[in-house]
Structure 1
C-alpha cells in the first residue's frame, strides 16, 4: 500500500511523499474472527506509536485479504465507535482483496483440507454463507456502520480464485455508492476480447453505477473457480500486485469529497446501504444465469443508456465469436444461447 500511495502522488501530482509522512501498522494474528478482532485491537491500543498515528492521520488506508476482510471491518467499526478514528476530519479507505464476506465456495466444506487439517478459524468461514448466522449479522452491522461513516470500500475479487467465489469477494448482497467493485485477472489468462472477462467487467460496472446485475455475478461465480491443488495464482497472487492497491488509493482520493469523480448516475441525496439476505448454495439452478442475462437486457436503466446499450451490443458480438474449450465454459455458452437468439 505504501508503494501504491507514493506511486500515485508521484505520477498523478508530481509529488514525492517521504517515508516519514506514512506510518505502517502491520496488524497480525491468528484465530476466529472475533478472537482476532479482540487481539488486534489490544495490540493496537497497547502500541502508543501506532495508536497516535491512527488517531492523528489525515488519511487512513487499510488493506486486508481473505479472512482479514470481516476481521478488518469489525475492527474498523470498533475503532470508530470508541473514538480512535474521526471521520469528520479523517478520510478512510478500506481495500478488501478476495475477502470472504459470503463464505468460501460451498463445495470446499467437505474438502479434506478443511475437514481434517484446518483449524476452527477456517471452518467458521462457512458460517458466512448464511446471512442469518451470528457472525454474518455482526459483520453486516459493522459494514453498514463504516459505510454510514463515509468509509470508501474497494472490493477486489480474483479471477480463478481457488477459495473465494466472486459473489463473496464483491459482497454482492449489499449496495452503496461508497463501494467500488473490481476483479484482478492474472496476466496469463487475460485476453482483451474474451467474452467471459468482458461480461464480468460489464456486470461489475453496472454494480458500481448503482444498477442491478440481476444476479449474474452470483450465478457465474462457480465457473471462475480455480484449482485448489494447482499453483495458478488467483487467491494468493492478488495481494502481490501494486495496481490493486492503487485502485483503492484512486477510489479514496479521486471521489468526493477529496476528488471530483462521481457515479455515472449519482444519487440526489445520501443513501443508506441496501443490504439483502444471502444464502450460498452448493448446487445452483443452471437456468438462473440466462434469466439474469434476460434481466439485464430488459432493464430500462441499462438499455436506455447509450454507454450500457453499446456495451451490450459489443458483448453480443464477442459472444458470437466465443469458442470455449473446457466443459464449464461450454456450459455457459449453452445456457446463454437464448440471449444470442433473442438479439437476432
Structure 2
C-alpha cells in the first residue's frame, strides 16, 4: 500500500537530502532536470531548499551513448543517507540493473526514504520490487514492455507523473520537470515552487493526470491559442466562472473549448479551473491570510467548508495544517 515518507520535508537540523544515482548509459536530460530543480543555489529565496548529491556505483560512468563520462561523484553508499532517492534511467530498458543499485533502492525504501523514477527509472524501481501493487507511470513508448515484465505494477501510461505517496514516477523528458516542481510544491509550498518555475522559465503547474502527449495545431491553422482566455480567467477566479463563460470569452462553443483544452493542455476546462483556484488559495495562505472564508471567496472556492474539502482532496491536508507548514513564520 502507498505510504507517506517519514522524511519528506526539511528537518530542523539539516536540509532535506536529495541523492541521484547515476549509472551506466543514464540519460543526461533527466539528470539535468534534477540538478536544475534540486541542486541550484536559490539566492532569490534567501535560503537553500535541498542538500543535493550525485552518486554512482563506479568511479567512471559513461553517459548515454558515450557522449561524455561522469567522474568525481560520491560512491553508491551516499544513497544510504538520502531522504529522497532518484533512481537511474536509461534507454536500454531490457538490460538488468546492477544488483548493488537495486539493493540501494530496497534499503532506501525499507527505511522510509522517498523514491523517484524518471522516464525509464520506473523499470529500476520495478526491478527492485518496490512497485508491486503500486501505481506508476513510464514513457508511453515502453508501456507494453513494462506491462509484460512487471504485471503486478498498476501502470498508468497516459499521464505526466504519478504521486503514490512515498514513490513517485514521471513519464520522462519535460515531465521530469513537472514532477520536480510538484515535489518542491509538496515540500515548500506553491510560492516557492512558482519561484523555481520562473527561474526555469517553465510552466508553474501541470497536473500529473494530464496526458503525456497532446495534439498541436498545425502552423498554417488560424490562431487557436488558449492563452488569452486563460489569462482572462486567472484575473477572475473569485467569480463564479463556468465553461460557458470561458467559451463565450473565447468566442467558441463549449464543445470546441473542450476540444482545445484537451488538445493544448491535456485536461478539461473545469479541471483547469479547479487547479488554478487551489493554487491561488495556497498562495493566499502562504502570504498570511488566516481567514479561511476570505481565502475561499477570493479563490472562487465559495465557502470555508468547500475549501477544506478541496484542499484535503488536492493537497492531502487541511487548510490549517497547510498554514502551519507553509504560512509566514512568526518571530
Query: After TM superposition, is the score higher than 0.5?
Result: no
Bigger helix fraction = 1
Which of the pair has the greater relative contact order for Cα pairs under 8 Å at 6+ separation?
1
Normalized against structure 2, the TM-score is what? 0.30
Normalized against structure 1, the TM-score is what? 0.29
